[in-house]
Amino acid sequence: MTTKFILAIDQGTTSSRAIVFDEKRAIRGVGQKEFTQYFPQDGWVEHDPEEIWESVVWSVNTAIAEAGIAAKDIAAIGITNQRETALIWDRATGKAVYNAIVWQDRRTATACAKLKKAGHEKLVTRKTGLLLDPYFSGTKVKWLLDNVKGARKRAERGELAFGTVDSFLIWRLTGGKNHVTDATNAGRTLLFDIGRNQWDKDLLALFEVPKALLPEVKDCAAEFGVTEESLFGAAIPILGVAGDQHAATIGQACFAPGMLKSTYGTGCFALLNTGADMVRSKNRLLTTIAYRLDGKSTYALEGSIFIAGAAVQWIRDGLKLVKQASETGPLAQSADPQQNVYMVPAFVGLGAPWWDAEARGAIYGLTRNSGPAEIARAALEAVCYQTRDLLQAMHKDWKRGGETVLRVDGGMVASDWTMQFLSDVLDAPVDRPVILETTALGAAWLAGSRAGVWPRMEEFARSWALEQQFTPRMDAGERKRKIKGWDAAVRRTLTV
């Protein structure tokens, strides 16, 4: 019997990655390519859709070649993607009418503030589980329709299509035959009722988005289309789709209520599985669809930090303090322990639980003796402090008792120093799995299980393996002092 492989496409904020997994869920081939970040104005973040597409095609072909297989050996494709990033494209040509507006983009902050002032946030939160913030896709779509010449009239005539990155990729991969998305991505648009699992006419009216623009919404494991044979050498079914944080939740096997994962990529996103219960946060967290399988939604509480690994990228590319991101851990370890330097990385505003779109980054506590090591340490510590703020809010909303163990993934978790500090600040265990590519693994499981190549949920969950557990070592007094300093730094940074 021919071995059947699963291909995961992980389209992220700063790079596209493709990973070939075999039947035993071992990685056999990887392709990854970074692409350009555009910052046209303060708080604006854009991507070139063509560059995203080209990076995906290149990554897929590279992964297949590295695995030493042919496209015909791939049983299915799973796609995971940066969420909330919005595109509108021409149905006839497949060309985007404007650059992709990235989830980090803050250009619609004023529009969100006006909607809040008019009293619309309660309706939005009740239906979507989200807040009125430029992070989400709804106001981005309206901006595109209002600011791209002729876009609104063309949208109303049905000539244009809207989608998050998954939809755009599927459209291209299938040669324009399929305009679809999954429930997790739809649920982040401000246009989708997560309780009724459908696009909502009241929300479409509020954001002035024509229904003709919207994709069909499917389960996370479903038939999304088949790739054009000319792309990779064979027609491959696309059988799994989930937004990146939802895919990571699946990849971490957080299938039971109360299980918690946090992914450290460009941003940091913590999801707490709440099962069939849509827990309404009283602490400025989000209620979201964790995944939808066989027509049944599992929900989660989510906390979103906009800048995590992006702060390390800034230290590397902006300040040029290091040549490789991996150098920041050892650099931070060498910092002067007597200096109390805090970085609040609000480069594109602050996410949960503050939701301050106008805040901007700041560094506090600098002295003449502060240098690259202290700044690197402050950047890594900031991610840990922000995670603590999220988990505190979650524990207030989710009062089911018991110790919460945090499962972590993403590029930053390779740093032992950072994970130990995270455990110290949380005063709780932190579990790092053997497979760190959990986002891609989650997308692959959706496709692989649907194709019948990978096991069902229970067996997949049993295969999750711990690489290292970090446990608290910090003195309680030291922890309290450090957290007090962080809280003061955040208060000084907030504008609301």
3-state helix, strand, coil in the chain (%, to 5): 40, 25, 40
Q: What pLDDT does 326 receive?
A: 79
The 3 state secondary structure assigned to 93-155 is: CCCECCCEECCCCCCCHHHHHHHHHCCCHHHHHHHHCCCCCCCCHHHHHHHHHHHCCCHHHHH
Q: What pLDDT does 401 receive?
A: 57
Identify the weakest region by mean pLDDT among 89-93, 172-176, 349-353, 433-437.
349-353
Residue 287 has pLDDT above 50, yes or no: yes
Q: Phi, psi at residue 24, to the nearest 5°?
A: -90, 10
| Average pLDDT for 333-343 | 90
Residue 448 has pLDDT above 60, yes or no: yes
Q: Give the three-state DSSP class for 473.
A: coil
Q: How many CB atoms lie within 10 A of CB 98?
A: 16
pLDDT confidence tier of residue 312, bands split at 50, 70 and 90: confident
Q: What is the largest CA-CA distance in the chain?
A: 67
pLDDT tens-digit readout, 145-204: 999 999 999 999 999 999 999 999 999 999 999 999 999 999 999 999 999 999 999 999
User: Percent of the chain, pLDDT > 90?
Assistant: 68
Find out whether 359 and 493 touch, Cβ atoms under 8 Å. yes
Q: What pLDDT does 496 receive?
A: 66
Tokens of 423: 């455990």
pLDDT tens-digit readout, 387-442: 998 888 888 888 775 556 789 988 888 889 899 999 999 998 999 998 888 899 99
How high does pLDDT run on average in the chain?
91
CATH architecture of 5-243: 2-Layer Sandwich (3.30)
| Average pLDDT for 118-125 | 94
| Side-by-side strand order, sheet with 27-34 | 27-34, 15-21, 5-11, 74-81, 237-243, 221-226
User: Percent of the chain, pLDDT > 70?
Assistant: 98
Find out whether 35 and 47 touch, Cβ atoms under 8 Å. yes
Residue 122 has pLDDT above 60, yes or no: yes
Identify the weakest region by mean pLDDT among 13-17, 67-71, 355-359, 471-475.
355-359
Tokens of 344: 């609040």
Q: Give the three-state DSSP class for 388.
A: helix
Q: What pLDDT does 1 receive?
A: 44
Strands (E) in 172-322, as ranges, are 180-182, 192-193, 198-199, 216-218, 221-226, 237-243, 260-264, 268-275, 286-293, 296-305
Q: What pLDDT does 348 receive?
A: 79
CA distance linking residue 404 with residue 431, whole number of Å: 11
Q: CATH number for 252-433+465-496: choose from 3.30.420.40, 3.90.79.10, 3.10.20.520, 3.20.20.70.
A: 3.30.420.40
| Average pLDDT for 18-43 | 92
Residue 255 has pLDDT above 70, yes or no: yes
Q: What pTM was estimated for this model as a whole?
A: 0.86
Residue 486 has pLDDT above 50, yes or no: yes
Residue 355 has pLDDT above 80, yes or no: no
Q: What pLDDT does 178 receive?
A: 96
The segment(s) of the chain belonging to CATH 3.30.420.40 are 5-243, 252-433+465-496
Q: What pLDDT does 406 receive?
A: 87
Higher pLDDT, 61 or 415: 61
Identify the weakest region by mean pLDDT among 11-20, 113-122, 277-286, 295-304.
277-286
Each as own residue / partner, the long-range contacts of residues 202-209 (CB below 8 Å, 24 or more positions apart, any chain) are 202/123, 202/127, 203/123, 203/124, 203/127, 203/128, 203/138, 206/115, 206/120, 206/123, 206/124, 207/138, 207/139, 207/141, 207/142, 208/142, 208/145, 209/138, 209/141, 209/142, 209/145, 209/162
